[in-house]
Amino acid sequence: MTNLKGRLVLLLSGPNLNLLGVREPAIYGADTLEDHVAAASKAAAQLGLEVEHHQSNSEGALIDHVHEARGRAAAIVINPGALTHYGWSLHDALRAFEGPIVELHLSNPDAREPWRRTSVITPVATGCITGFGGHGYRLAMDAVAHLLRTG
């Protein structure tokens, strides 16, 4: 993994994740998004990877980041927030990305309200990490490193 494309992991955070730390801490924990990005970046660096992070409350902005990652990033880790459940445009954009995609959730949406049990992102994800809170960011980087090594 020598060139940037081979090392770069695009980490995307969807709507409302900018409020982590104050938003429903009983479900999402007390750590901020900044804390999670720092943990992901540290784990990535130990694995020889580099993280570029973007958060947006708009589906279109997230789609633009996915488009810009084509040919530039080796993998995408995405917590799509509630777009998980209805973001078909985001689904289509991810479908056009050529590398591995890890869908990441702090909570376990399958164990919550029925409407959270459908993910339109899972069909285009290589795999999902759900329900491990902030530790999921480290697990996601480990999964990406494994996928890039073996894929």
Query: Which residues of this protein are in contact with ligand DQA, per CB under 6 A?
Result: 16, 79, 81-82, 84, 105-107, 109, 116
* Torsion sign (Cα): 87, 93, 98, 99: negative
Verify whether residue 86 is a known catalytic residue. Answer: no
CB of 30 to ligand DQA, least distance (A): 14
Residue 25 in tokens: 């801490």
Q: Which of 28, 36, 91, 137 is catalytic?
A: 28
Residue 123 in tokens: 């069909």
* Strand, helix or coil for residue 7: helix
CB of 82 to ligand DQA, least distance (A): 3
CB of 88 to ligand DQA, least distance (A): 16
Verify whether residue 105 is a known catalytic residue. Answer: yes
C-beta closer to ligand DQA: residue 33 or 144: 33
Q: What are the phi and psi torsion angles at 130 (to 5°)? A: -135, 145
Q: Burial, 13: exposed, middle or buried (Cβ in 10 Å; 0-12, 13-18, 19+)?
A: buried
C-beta closer to ligand DQA: residue 41 or 84: 84
Catalytic residues: 28, 105
